[in-house]
Structure 1
Amino acid sequence: MEAVENLMEDARVGNIDALYELLRSTPFILESFEHVQFMDTLLHIAASEGCTHFAIEIISLKPSYTDGLSPLDLALRNGHRETVSRMVQVNPELIRVKGKRRITPLHYVAQTDDVDLLVEFLLAYPASIEDLTICDDTAVHIAVKNRKEKSFNVLLGWLQRTDYSDLLDWKDEAGNTVLHVAASTNQPQACFLDIYPLPFFFLVET
């Protein structure tokens, strides 16, 4: 269908005017994307291309497009930080959308040591810290297993100053807490987390 192909191209280049022009002539065209593969929705296309404003318009018009594989994840992996931040402002729940292996955007930034986005996500949706991967890993498990010291420090500071401190006792599918992982991988800075509490806003600047 030519109109659908045109709309997909509008999403790739971020042409909002063309989007609304097409909606006037074909009011129900967005429904054409309800049953396509997750990666092919207009929101996913716009997010992967870093078309921030177009992505925000689609989130507003069709919130259902945020179900399934996260468009926020696509924007993250393609390095479109402004798009990521704006999408989180409009719909913080995107932080908790699980992708492959139930990895969320919070897990991803913990693994990549992107502490700025890690802090932004925690502030936008604190409960996202409770999300688990398919292996029952928390974001803290992920940071320690990948030796991401900055991410670990930020997460630790956050946990120590919120109601989520018991998360440090959560176990992955192998029965390991964060302390077990730290000890088995020779990471002493994580082993002494109960002895040397670290201030959250100091850690943000590391």
Structure 2
Amino acid sequence: MEKLLYEASLEGNLNMLLMLLQEDPLILDRVTLDRHGDTPLHIASMLGHVDFVKEVIARKPQLAMECDSQKRLPLHIASAKGHVDIVKALVSANPETCFARDRDGGNPIHLAAIKGCCEVVKELVEAKPHAARAMVQQETILHLCVKHNQLEVLKLLIETMSDHEFINTKDAHGNTILHLAVADKQVQTINLLLLNTTIEVNATNMNGETSMDILAQVPRDLKYQQIMQSLTRAGAVETYTQASFRQVPIKYHKKPRYLREELTENDDWLNRKRSSLMVVASLIATMAFQAGTNPPSGVWQDDSSNNPLRKAGFAVMPSNHPTLYHIFLVCNTVGFVSTLSIILLLISGLPFLKHKVFLWVLMVIMWIATASMSITYSVSIWVLTPTPQSKSFRQVAGGIVVVWIALMTLLVVGHTIRIVAVAFRKFEKLVLPRKRTISSPIVINHAEI
């Protein structure tokens, strides 16, 4: 009959269970006395037989406290497998099973977190929140989530129990969860911790290393750059101790610091320039739109049968100054489209936007926009100023605009020459070391030593 009971638990055969209980009401008690290992409740919990589990618990709720050879309760197994309904049934039978530990010291919520079973973790946290704060071998459940790269479970735990002390708990080696995430280059986890928690970015472990020191020891790739930028924005710093120098060569430490400082300064400078360009482009676009919809001299208020161009709502300027109106319209449109292009490029978030060459391209577009708006202004003054009284003023205003455009042209040419010179120097640095390598191998060997 015991063999039939185990077969019923494997298949989840509820009818067979009821038949066996009818023939022998003590069969469940007899199984727990005679065998040491997986009980029928363990097996059914592992395979997800919900009805079978509920029937066993209803008849013998104390079976929920029976351990297998690994000291695991049925709740441990159901949690690790992600069977939410079975977890609910077992917790309802005995909520204290949430605190039970297996041979490795883990309780059911620890196993569910390691396996990434979010719904089970949510159910267990709601049932017994303190079970999630228990430590396993001096590691919190947050450490387990990061070590096993379970981001969704980590998000859930941070949302439900993200107090400062718990987030910054250290393991046996003094590492916070940020240390572990940086060592494993988990970009999304690092951003989650920096943006949504009160994690201490400059906390040190037992070796005196901060998260930035840990980053200096990992291979450099695209994830390295992303993590570097995130930590730098969060105010992370390096703390070079004797222990960290023993683990990593000295030359390995010095070079990253220089590169990071240069990268940070360039990023800050480019960010400021992009912000300024965005403000100026928005202002010029607004001016161009206003000038286009409200041209100089205004619009006709009524229709005229003698002049086909004179209709209510049409601009007055085409009738009085057709050539100047054409120049005005072209220049204003060029300025408007140029500034809109700048705005669109800045908000697009394309990766090449972080280079100085792209900033030079934006500056050229801005020069086109400002030059066009200057001509638009000059045409407007020319149209709105009476000829007999202010002919000299027209000439002075036009001369000022021409001089200003010439100065801006010199500025663009100067920046162009500077960019070309920088590009030439970089090309020269790439070529010259190769020549020295061929002619002076002793120098290279000395540098390598």
Offset, 1:191: 4.7
Structure 1 counterpart of 2:165, one-letter code: D
Aligned position for 1:75: 78
Report the TM-score when normalising by structure 1.
Answer: 0.74
Judged with a 3 Å threshold, the aligned counterparts in structure 2 of structure 1 residues 18 and 49 are, in CA distance, closer, same or farther, namely: same
CA distance in 2, matches of 1:61, 1:53: 13
Partners of 2:48 and 2:78 within 8 A in 1: yes
| Residue in structure 2 matching 1:132, options 126, 131, 135 | 135
CA RMSD of aligned residues (A): 2.8
| Residue in structure 1 matching 2:50, options 47, 52, 73 | 52
> Which has the larger displacement, 144-153 or 171-180?
171-180
How many matched pairs?
188
Aligned position for 2:174: 175
Instruction: Describe the superposition over 1:124-143 as per-residue Cα deviations: whole angstroms up to 9, x where unpaired.
Output: 2212112222x222211111
Structure with bigger helix share is 2
Aligned position for 2:146: 144
Report the TM-score when normalising by structure 2.
Answer: 0.37
Judged with a 3 Å threshold, the aligned counterparts in structure 2 of structure 1 residues 76 and 126 are, in CA distance, closer, same or farther, namely: closer
Identity, % of aligned pairs?
28
CA distance in 2, matches of 1:65, 1:172: 35
Offset, 1:183: 4.9
Aligned position for 1:7: 5
Partners of 1:43 and 1:71 within 8 A in 2: yes
Instruction: Describe the superposition over 1:78-123 as per-residue Cα deviations: whole angstroms up to 9, x where unpaired.
Output: 5544433443444444433333522333122322333233222211
Partners of 2:121 and 2:153 within 8 A in 1: yes
Is residue 23 from structure 1 mapped to residue 27 from structure 2 by the alignment?
A: no
> Which has the higher Rg, Structure 1 or Structure 2?
2
Q: Which runs of 5+ in 2 are unaligned?
A: 200-449
| Residue in structure 2 matching 1:110, options 113, 120, 138 | 113
Structure 1 counterpart of 2:110, one-letter code: H
Judged with a 3 Å threshold, the aligned counterparts in structure 2 of structure 1 residues 149 and 64 are, in CA distance, closer, same or farther, namely: same
> Which has the larger displacement, 182-191 or 27-36?
182-191
Secondary structure of the corresponding residue to residue 194 of structure 1: coil
Secondary structure of the corresponding residue to residue 102 of structure 1: coil
Aligned position for 1:120: 123
Judged with a 3 Å threshold, the aligned counterparts in structure 2 of structure 1 residues 56 and 93 are, in CA distance, closer, same or farther, namely: farther
Offset, 1:7: 1.7
Partners of 1:11 and 1:42 within 8 A in 2: yes
Judged with a 3 Å threshold, the aligned counterparts in structure 2 of structure 1 residues 165 and 91 are, in CA distance, closer, same or farther, namely: farther
Aligned position for 2:208: none
Partners of 2:80 and 2:112 within 8 A in 1: no
CA distance in 2, matches of 1:182, 1:191: 11
Q: Which runs of 5+ in 1 are unaligned?
A: 196-206
Offset, 1:168: 2.7
Partners of 1:182 and 1:191 within 8 A in 2: no
Structure 1 counterpart of 2:30, one-letter code: S
Aligned position for 1:99: 102
CA distance in 2, matches of 1:116, 1:79: 8
CA distance in 1, matches of 2:152, 2:182: 18
